Structure 1
């Protein structure tokens, strides 16, 4: 399991250094997919919860799809990640997250702040997302729900997992997606920040997936 996780980190580093801001191609797709796919394999061999394996596996599928160009593959990748976030949400609920905090986030100020952030993101992206506005809005809702579920995990935990790592992972995932949304829909095509935005998206994203594995597969 540990060797698979280390291999995943190696492919993630290769992707970061050689392919992150590059054009679509076999090498780019392969390194990006293996970066998360090997984490899913590590979770599977570790006997981790099925929902964790599913979330990581769907993330690998999403990585493959988003490594290609085209509106259809982007939408398919968005769907893959949305279902991955649903898997993580149910993983957290099974681990003891309090469902009432998803319905009444005022019981959890951090969850309430995240909900406000999600509403602000949806409001800002709606007029600029074009034909993707509904899929993007649904995706924002799902990832916010995942984050709220993570913030609702009991501390100390009710099982063999690390809730603080899970919360960190969810936070990094939301940060990465927020930066990606800014890059895709708000940042001008010629802006100089586009030179670094793919790297700023990739690092917190991959760390989030690795921390999900660490939190629920005993890699700490």
Structure 2
């Protein structure tokens, strides 16, 4: 069996686990997407790709289902005798809009998602926070070179190495083209000693959000305390 076949089999098994867990909880895929803080098309896209593509997104799905990351992606192992119900479980906590912007900080690496006839196109980008918007720089002929008014989403997240906790922030909005003076100021910010991947002094796109949501991912210990 090739690696591609193994990956396809693992993804199919994970989708079955999601369906079975949704049936157990009495929720739809749309309900699950809402609990995980993502659009239903992105949830479908996420479960069709390798787990390494967006582990934070999968962790949010797992937490929304009351499963650990490993239980979602690899299957549930039997707990040791006497330990049933005493294992720490992941939990999702909603972030306020202010907490979302605090976690985004001033700059970092995130993803933009653009609508496509066959599903969302997701592209990694370096970003800057500019007021209560996010901006990124791209080439005029690149996938991310949106026209003003185009719908798009932006996501950034951080998860620890053990996939035990972290956060994820999602912006849903429309694209804007900064004015030449604004773009020049953004170029200066991007060039002030920060590593930057992508074309210099070309095209900036602003994500003007009309919805800002976020989740903090923690664990609930056997006594019921959220970490």
Identify whether the pair has TM-score above 0.5, normalized to the shorter chain: no
Higher strand fraction (1 or 2): 2
Q: TM-score, normalised by structure 2?
A: 0.28
Q: TM-score, normalised by structure 1?
A: 0.29
Bigger radius of gyration, 1 or 2?
A: 2
Higher helix fraction (1 or 2): 1
